Chain A
Amino acid sequence: MAKEPIKEELLQSISYKAPKTFWMDTPAQIKPGMFCWGAKAKSLNVVGMPNARDWNPLDEDWKLPENWQEILIEGLRERLDKYRSLRLFLDICVRCGACADKCHFYIGTGDPKNMPVVRGELMRSIYRKYFTTPGKVFGKLAGARELDLQVLKEWWTYFFQCTECRRCSVFCPYGIDHAEITIAGRELLNLLGLNIEWIQGPVSNCYMKGNHLGLEPQTIVSNVEFMVDDIETLTGIRINPTFNRKGAEILFVTPSGDLFADPGTYTCMGYLMLFHELGLDYTWSTYASEGGNFGFFTSNEMAKRLNSKIYAEAKRLGVKWILGGECGHMWRLVHQYMDTWNGPAGFLEVPKSPITGTVFDNAKSTKMTHIIEFTADLIKHGKLKLDPSRNDHLKVTFHDSCNTARGMGVFEEPRHVLKNICRNFYEMPRETIKEQTFCCGSGSGLNAGEDMELRLRGGLARANAVKYVHDKHGVNMLANICAIDRASLTTSMNYWVPGVTVAGVHELVANALVMTGEKKRETDLRGEPLPAPEDQTSVSARAVAQPEGEKAGGEANV
C-alpha cells in the first residue's frame, strides 16, 4: 500500500486555479499513489483478453503491439456506431463548463484533466482528428490532435481517474455522461491489454470461481459458518443457511465482499439474521456468488459474461425470483443492463414478498428486487419487531451510492428503513446527497492500495460532507447500501474524519431486530457494548416500530 499523504499537505496542494499551459500541451504524469498496477498476462489470459503481457505503467515502454494506433482508431469507429451516447456526447458538448467542478476527482486534485469536460476532450480531440472533416482539415485549430504515445498514456491515466459516478451528467444541459466516455475509453485500452490488475484479477477470479475474491465453494460455506457462530454468540439463535439448494423460493445474490471482511461481514450477518427471523425460503449460490461486476469496468462484453451467472443459476435452481443485497454498481447493472444482456427471464415470477404479499411490480421484467425495497416494505407493514434504542449509541447519516442514486433513484427506501431502526438520523448537506451525492472516491475498480492518494483525494468531497455533520451533530456512523462503500469509506473516514465508522444499513437493521427467542443482547453486531443494558421486558414498551396505517397484504411468516 502506498504511503498516505499528510492531510494538511494534501489539502494545500489543491487549487482550482488552472495552470497557464493548456492541458493539451501538458503531458500526463503517472505518479505513485495516483495509479494502479497494470493487468498481468496471467489474469488477462484466463478470460481471453487480447495483447496479454506483463507491463509496468512506470516504464517508458509499454510493450504495445506494433499497430496499436490502428487498433484504437478502429475500436473507436466500432463503438461510435454501436453507442449513440458516445457519438452524441462527443459531438454536442459546448464546453459551457457547468460540469467542470462537479467531479470529486477535480475537487480533490484541482487537475484540469479531471474536469469532466476535459476528460471528454481527451477522447473528443482524437475523434475530431480521425472522424470529422473540420478536425482533419484544421487540426489543432479545431481542437483535434494526433493519437500518439503521450495521448495513450494520458487516456490510461485519466480513464482510471474516473469512477463512472455520473455526477457530471446531472448538471450538464444535455445530460452528457462522462461515465460513457470512460467506459468506452477503458474498453479501447483493454484492446491493448492495458487494464489494471485490481480490476482484471477480480474479473478472472469471478469468471472461474464465481466471485471477485476468488472464494471457492468450501470457503464461502465456512465464512458464512463463522458468521453464523457469531450470531449464535450474540443472540443464542442458531441459523442454518443453505447453499445451491434447488427449489428454494428465492435466490439471494450479494457482493462477495460481504462474505470476506468487516464491516461487510456485519452487513452479511444482518441479512442472515433478517432472513432467519422471517423464515424466508431462500438459498445462497456458490456459483453466482458475486453481485458486483468488475467486468463492467473492463468491457461491456466482459460484464455480460460475468453477469450471465445470475440468471443461469436462478434457472438451474428453479427459484421464483431473485433478491439482491446491498451494492452500488451491482444494482446499476441489475437495473439498467442485466435484462438486456441476459434476459428475458421468463422462467422466473414477478417478485412477491412472502411476508407482506407485496408484489414488486417495479421489477416485473427483470425479476430481481433490491433488499432495501424488500426491507422497507416489511417495516412499512410492521412485520419486524424493532428496538431502535439498540442503535442509540449511533448518530447516523446516510451516503447515497452513485449507482443506486443516479442509475436507479433509490432515495426514500433506505431513509425509511433508517428512521425506523435508529433514533438519531442526520442528513448531509443537500448538494452532497441523493442525485447530487458524491462518490466514495474508489468506485469502478479503483479501490486498490497502490492508488491511495488518488482515493483519498477522490474521497475528499464525500468525507468533507460527513465531517460537516460530524462536527455539527456528532455523527459517528456513516450508513450506506454498497459493498465498495463499506470498505472504501472506512479508509476515507479514518483519514479525513476519524471517529466515524461505516456500516451497511442491514447491519443496523439487525442491531435493532428483535428476534424470536433471542437472548438478551449485550453488544451490537460488532461486539460493542449496547448503550443502556437491555432488559427484555422493556423491549415491547420501547419504540417498537408500529405498522403505519396500511394493512399487511399477506400472512406473516414469522
Chain B
Amino acid sequence: MKALLPFLAVVFLVLLVIAGVKAAGLYFIFGVLVPYAAAAAFLLGFVYRVVKWGKTPVPFHIPTTCGQQKSLSWIKPNGIENPSGTGGVVIRMLLEVLLFRSLFKNRKTKMKGEYLVYGWAPWLWLAGMAFHWSFLLIVIRHLRFFFQSVPAAVQSLEHLDSILNWGVPALYITDVIFLVAVTYLFLRRVTLSQMKAISLPADFFPLFLLLGIGTSGVLMRYQTRVDVVGVKELVMGLVSLHPSVVSGIGTIFYVHLFLISALFAYFPWSKLVHAGGVFLSPTRNLSNNSRVARHVNPWSYPVKVHTYEEYEDDFREKMKMAGVPVERE
C-alpha cells in the first residue's frame, strides 16, 4: 500500500502528460507553463524553508561531539569530529555534505550467540553516495542545453562519463549508477524489515519520480530518439525568458520534463529539503567551544529561583547546629 499509491501517482502523472501532449496538444502548458511554475515553486519554496530555519534561533550550543575535545595542551584534540573552531566546522561539514561521513559510520546491530555485534554495513552509504553524485553529475551534464556554446567543463565531463565507449550513442556511466542506486534505495525499503516498518508513501514517491525521470531519459537517449536540436531550442527559450513552443520533439521528452518539474515543485515541501537543511543542523555546524565563549540565547528570560537567602531562612538553625556558617545569625 505504502508503495503502491505513490507508484500510481507517478503513473498518473505520466499518463497525464501523454494525454495532454499527444491527445490534446497542450505543448505550451507542458513545455512552458509547467516548467516555469515548477522552477518558481522550487526557488520560492526552497528560499522560504531555508529562511524560516535561519530565522529560528539556536538557543543553546549543542554540537554532537564525536572525538576528543580540546582541553589540556598535551592531549591531541580531534579537530574535525570535535571542532574547536570555524576551520574544523567547515571541514566537518564538507565531509558530511560531500562524503556523507556520518552515514559511513553505519553498523548493523545483531545478536550473535551471547554477544551483540556491530557488523560492517556500507550499503546505504554506498547507494546514497552513488545516487547523489551521479544525480549531480547528470545535472551538470544537462547544462549543455542551457548554454548556446557548451562549456568546456561540461564537455569534458560528458567525455569522461562515456569513456567506456559502449554502444551508440556511448553509454553514460552515471546513468547506470543512478538507476542502480535508486533501484537499490527502493528495494531496501520493501525488503528490509526495519525499513518496511519506517517507510511512508512520502518516501516512495520521490524514488518513483527519480526512476521515472531516469528511465525516460535513458529511453530518449538509447531508444526512442528525440529531436535534440529542438530540445535545446526549447530550453534556451525558457532560460532566456523568450519561451516558444517547439514542435516535433517527441512525447517522451515531455514525460521527462514533466516528471522533473514535479520533482522540483515537490522538493521544498517534502523531506527532500534535507539538501538545504543539512547545512543548518546545530549538532553539526557548531564548534565545541561553549566553555570558551559564551553562547547567547536570544529569547532568554529571567526565571524564578530559590535564593540563598530563602534557603538560609529555611535552614538557619540546622546550619548553625551543624557548624555551617550563615549570613545572618
A contact residues vs B (CB 8 Å cutoff): 11, 14, 16-19, 22-23, 48, 80-85, 87-88, 91-98, 100-102, 107, 112, 115, 117-118, 121, 132-134, 141-143, 166, 169-177, 180, 207-210, 216-218, 221-222, 243-246, 286-287, 300-301, 304-305, 308-309, 312-313, 316, 334-337, 339-341, 343-344, 358, 360-366, 368, 373, 376-377, 380, 405-413, 416, 429, 431-432, 434-436, 460-461, 464-465, 467-468, 550
Contacts and interface: CB of A to CB of B under 8 A. Distances in A.
A494 B300 CA distance: 44
A305 B109 contact: no
A313 B307 CA distance: 9
Interface of B: 5, 49, 52-53, 56-62, 64-72, 74-78, 81-82, 96, 100, 102-103, 105-111, 114-116, 118, 124, 128, 188, 192-203, 269-274, 277-278, 280-284, 288, 290-297, 299-300, 303-308, 311-312, 314-315, 318-319, 321-325
B44 to A, nearest CB: 14
A337 B295 CA distance: 8
B125 to A, nearest CB: 8
Given A98-B124, A143-B202, A339 B291 contact: yes
Given A91-B277, A407-B65, 17 more contacts: A100-B198, A112-B194, A170-B66, A170-B102, A174-B278, A175-B96, A175-B281, A176-B281, A216-B315, A304-B303, A334-B291, A343-B294, A366-B290, A373-B71, A409-B77, A409-B78, A464-B115
Contact of B297 (A88, A91, A340, A413): A340
Contact of A112 (B96, B197, B277, B325): B197
Contacts of B277: 88, 91-92, 174
Q: Is the interface of A mostly helix, strand, loop or mixed?
A: helix
Q: Which of B52, B65, B110 has its CB near the most chain A CB atoms (within 10 A)?
A: B65
B57 to A, nearest CB: 6
A283 to B, nearest CB: 10
18 contacts: A83-B56, A83-B57, A84-B57, A85-B281, A88-B277, A95-B198, A115-B198, A143-B200, A170-B105, A308-B303, A337-B60, A340-B294, A373-B71, A373-B72, A409-B67, A411-B68, A434-B67, A461-B116
Contacts of B322: 217-218, 221-222, 243
Nearest to A80: B56
Nearest to B285: A175
A234 B292 CA distance: 40
Contact of B108 (A88, A101, A143, A377): A101
Contact of A208 (B96, B194, B306): B306
B102 A92 contact: no
Nearest to B82: A409
Contact of A365 (B68, B82, B293): B293
Nearest to A101: B109
A171 B74 contact: no
Given A92-B271, A141-B201, A218-B318, A467 B294 contact: no
A316 B291 contact: no
Contacts of B203: 94-95
Nearest to B106: A98
Nearest to A96: B124
Contacts of A221: 322-324
Q: Which of A48, A101, A410 has its CB near the most chain B CB atoms (within 10 A)?
A: A101
Contacts of B323: 221, 243
Q: Which of A180, A313, A358, A435 has its CB near the most chain B CB atoms (within 10 A)?
A: A435
A433 to B, nearest CB: 12
B308 A316 contact: yes
Contact of B102 (A107, A173, A243, A245): A173
Contacts of B102: 98, 170-173, 175
Contact of A409 (B109, B111, B288): B288
A87 B290 contact: no
Contacts of B308: 287, 309, 312-313, 316
B271 A335 contact: no
Nearest to B290: A336
Contacts of B292: 361-365
Given A97-B195, A464-B115, A405 B109 contact: no
Contacts of A16: 109-110, 193-194
Contacts of A92: 271, 273-274, 277-278, 281
A102 B118 CA distance: 10
A409 B82 CA distance: 7
A432 B238 CA distance: 55
Q: Which of B52, B72, B108, B321 has its CB near the most chain A CB atoms (within 10 A)?
A: B72
A170 B284 CA distance: 10
A91 B278 CA distance: 11
B71 A83 contact: no
A253 B308 CA distance: 16
B115 A175 contact: no
Contacts of A358: 72
A121 B198 CA distance: 9
B282 A84 contact: yes
Nearest to B114: A467
Nearest to A303: B303
Nearest to B185: A96
A340 B311 contact: no
A413 B69 CA distance: 10
A286 B60 CA distance: 28
Given A305-B304, A335-B290, A87 B71 contact: no
A303 to B, nearest CB: 10
Nearest to A366: B291
Contacts of B116: 107, 460-461, 464-465
Contacts of A216: 315, 318
A363 B293 CA distance: 9
Contacts of B318: 216-218
A544 B249 CA distance: 85
A436 B278 CA distance: 21
B123 to A, nearest CB: 11
A531 B65 CA distance: 39
Nearest to B6: A141
B285 to A, nearest CB: 8
